[in-house]
Amino acid sequence: MNQNNKTFYITSPLYYVNDVPHVGSAYTTIACDTIARYKRLRGFDVCFLTGTDEHGQKIAKSAKQENKSPQEHCDFISNKFKELWELLNIQYDKFSRTTSKIHEKIVHEFFNRVYKKGDIYEADYEGLYCEGCEDFKSEKDLTDDNLCPIHKQKVQEYKEKNYFFALSKYEKKLVEHFEKNPDFIQPSYRKNEVLGWVKEGLKDFPISRQSVSWGIPVPNENKQTIYVWFDALLGYLSGLLSELDSPTIDSTIKRYWPCSVHIIGKDILRFHAVYWPCMLMSADLPLPQKVFGHGFLTKDGEKMGKTTGNIIDPYELIKEFGTDAVRFFFLREIGFGKDGDYSRANFINRINSDLANNLGNLLNRTLNLANKNYNGIIKCPGNTNFLGLKDSTISTIEAYEKHMDKLELKEALDVLWQLIDSTNKAFSDKAPWKLIKNNELDDAQSCLYETLIILGNISILINPFIPETSIKIYSQLGFNKPDMYNEWEKLGWKDKEECFKLSEAKPVFPRLDIKP
Ligand SMILES: [Zn+2]
């Protein structure tokens, strides 16, 4: 690692373990992994935390249906997430589980802190609750038939004595925080939605349940457990600790807190952009720097759902197309933040046109010509801008950096593929195979040398997105296995370098000859 000790802490949501992971969770986690890898490339001390949220009524129910204990059920599903992350080449640093002992200790300490602050009190609660959302609903949230609009199921009438969190006390401070930190909620178009909720007035909400046994007990109480969301959000702190640490809140915030960015789906924006900052203010802890709510995926233009059978199975997708193809498609196709669509035809077209043709063929043509005519050794030429792409290569790196820093992942890929397109075009125009035939060997070598410089840059810049492919290209170019903490410095138009000693050309992305 380089000396740079700037930290970068990124989290995915802690995924709810009521069911095996679906493609939406895969999408979020791929995006987080890409951002984390980019920051490592920039020399940051990165911590990428993912994990599972394991308490609540719904979990206990799912476990019962499978004749398992809730803990057995949680262990099983939590492992399924880990398996999928391995298949997707997700390089996380921490896996937070809300059924861990450390987590329970942190939740208790947090509860006591907030209690001492005077922000937790007992009161009767009467209201409506959707088990699917694990969230309270007011009458106006419901459909005309009194159903939860998301789950289309009946909400429960709910009345019991609970502990409440004094959310309303923080309304003004939260608005001030939004004003002082205009980038706190991203993308910016999500901000109005959150401001709308706050303007309606923040209400204190119950943070304990008498009726839910599968949860963390309220400290010094034997009748109630802590509300699953109040517990789960703290997984972003507790997950930073390992078994060896002394689990205190102060030890969690030493190195990586405050979080640089929480990446979430837009459906859980309220918990992260309203409840969570207020909870942290109450506990006198620093707030995360950014909450980024991305959009939803559809399949063939339709909402996905288990009941309709319209789903994408992430395991099947990886099995058929491979890890990098899956990672690439979603980030290339969908503006990060916006809703986006998957279809099999688009998927296949995207992989064939971008990876097999534009990138794969450029590499293959260059290496084949170089290996056949120059024994794989391409020397630094006299003419340093034969293809005329020096400036656009440099400006592409700058544009990529700007987009990545703003989490505009698709736009970052767009500029890379524009450069790949212009390189293909310049390569075809200069036609080095013709130059070789006419014995204009210096010009032919310039053409190959400069294409290799561009491919070298591309192989580093695509690394956060498609790490396996990046390393394949990198090694075909004759470089050693990269150390991603130091590669950023190798970018640029390095035309004074020693020669390229190329390896054998192997297709990095074979064309998919399957019918959509
Ligand atoms: Zn619901």
* Interval between CA 275 and ligand 1 midpoint (Å): 18
Place of tokens 């709308």: 196
* Interval between CA 202 and ligand 1 midpoint (Å): 20
158 pLDDT band (50/70/90 cuts)?
confident
Tell me the average pLDDT across 357-381.
Answer: 94
* Interval between CA 82 and ligand 1 midpoint (Å): 27
Domain contains 302: no
* Interval between CA 145 and ligand 1 midpoint (Å): 14
* Interval between CA 128 and ligand 1 midpoint (Å): 11
* Interval between CA 129 and ligand 1 midpoint (Å): 8
Tell me the average pLDDT across 428-447.
Answer: 95
Residue-level pLDDT at 1 = 40
Domain that holds residue 356: 344-501
* Interval between CA 9 and ligand 1 midpoint (Å): 30
Residue-level pLDDT at 182 = 95
* Interval between CA 115 and ligand 1 midpoint (Å): 29
99 pLDDT band (50/70/90 cuts)?
very high
Domain contains 467: yes
pLDDT digits (tens, 9 = 90+) for 262-287: 999 999 999 999 999 999 999 999 99
Asked if 325 contacts 303 with a C-beta cutoff of 8 angstroms, the reply is: no
* Interval between CA 378 and ligand 1 midpoint (Å): 62
* Interval between CA 203 and ligand 1 midpoint (Å): 19
* Interval between CA 155 and ligand 1 midpoint (Å): 8
Domain contains 417: yes
Q: How far apart are CA 27 and CA 200, in angstroms?
A: 32
Which amino acid, residue 512? L
With a cut of 50, say whether residue 2 has pLDDT above it. Answer: no
Q: Token digits for 464?
A: 């956060």
The three-state DSSP-derived secondary structure of 29-70 is HHHHHHHHHHHHHCCCEEEEEEEEECCCHHHHHHHHHCCCCH
Residue-level pLDDT at 280 = 98
Domain contains 50: no
* Interval between CA 337 and ligand 1 midpoint (Å): 22
pLDDT digits (tens, 9 = 90+) for 314-326: 999 999 999 999 9
Domain contains 430: yes
* Interval between CA 90 and ligand 1 midpoint (Å): 30
Q: Token digits for 117?
A: 């602050």
* Interval between CA 373 and ligand 1 midpoint (Å): 65
Domain count, the chain: 1
* Interval between CA 395 and ligand 1 midpoint (Å): 47
* Interval between CA 18 and ligand 1 midpoint (Å): 14
* Interval between CA 339 and ligand 1 midpoint (Å): 20
Helix (H) or strand (E) holding 251: helix 249-252
* Interval between CA 61 and ligand 1 midpoint (Å): 16
* Interval between CA 470 and ligand 1 midpoint (Å): 42
Asked if 58 contacts 132 with a C-beta cutoff of 8 angstroms, the reply is: yes
Place of tokens 């694990």: 134
Least confident of 146-160, 254-268, 386-400: 146-160
With a cut of 90, say whether residue 141 has pLDDT above it. Answer: no
Asked if 354 contacts 508 with a C-beta cutoff of 8 angstroms, the reply is: no
* Interval between CA 74 and ligand 1 midpoint (Å): 21
Least confident of 131-140, 296-305, 346-355: 131-140
129 pLDDT band (50/70/90 cuts)?
confident
Percent pLDDT > 90 in the chain is 79
* Interval between CA 328 and ligand 1 midpoint (Å): 32
* Interval between CA 295 and ligand 1 midpoint (Å): 18
* Interval between CA 130 and ligand 1 midpoint (Å): 5
Domain contains 464: yes
With a cut of 60, say whether residue 394 has pLDDT above it. Answer: yes
Least confident of 7-21, 61-75, 372-386, 465-479: 372-386
Tell me the average pLDDT across 167-178.
Answer: 97
pLDDT digits (tens, 9 = 90+) for 225-260: 999 999 999 999 999 997 766 788 888 888 899 999
* Interval between CA 48 and ligand 1 midpoint (Å): 29
* Interval between CA 73 and ligand 1 midpoint (Å): 22
* Interval between CA 135 and ligand 1 midpoint (Å): 7
pLDDT digits (tens, 9 = 90+) for 56-69: 988 999 999 999 99
* Interval between CA 190 and ligand 1 midpoint (Å): 21
Q: How far apart are CA 451 and CA 444, in angstroms?
A: 11
**Between 147 and 495, where is the model more confident?**
147
Residue-level pLDDT at 168 = 97
3 pLDDT band (50/70/90 cuts)?
very low
* Interval between CA 131 and ligand 1 midpoint (Å): 6
Q: How far apart are CA 34 and CA 331, in angstroms?
A: 9
- Please name which of 316, 390, 363, 359 lies closest in space to residue 465, comparing C-alpha atoms: 359
* Interval between CA 148 and ligand 1 midpoint (Å): 5
With a cut of 80, say whether residue 5 has pLDDT above it. Answer: no
* Interval between CA 143 and ligand 1 midpoint (Å): 11
> Counting runs of H as helices and runs of E as strands, what totals does the chain give?
20, 17
Query: Which range has highest mean pLDDT (159-163, 169-173, 310-314)?
Result: 169-173
Domain contains 428: yes
Q: Token digits for 186?
A: 């991203």
pLDDT digits (tens, 9 = 90+) for 473-506: 999 999 877 777 778 988 998 766 668 999 999 9
CATH number at residue 379: 1.10.730.10
Tell me the average pLDDT across 289-294.
Answer: 98
Domain contains 231: no
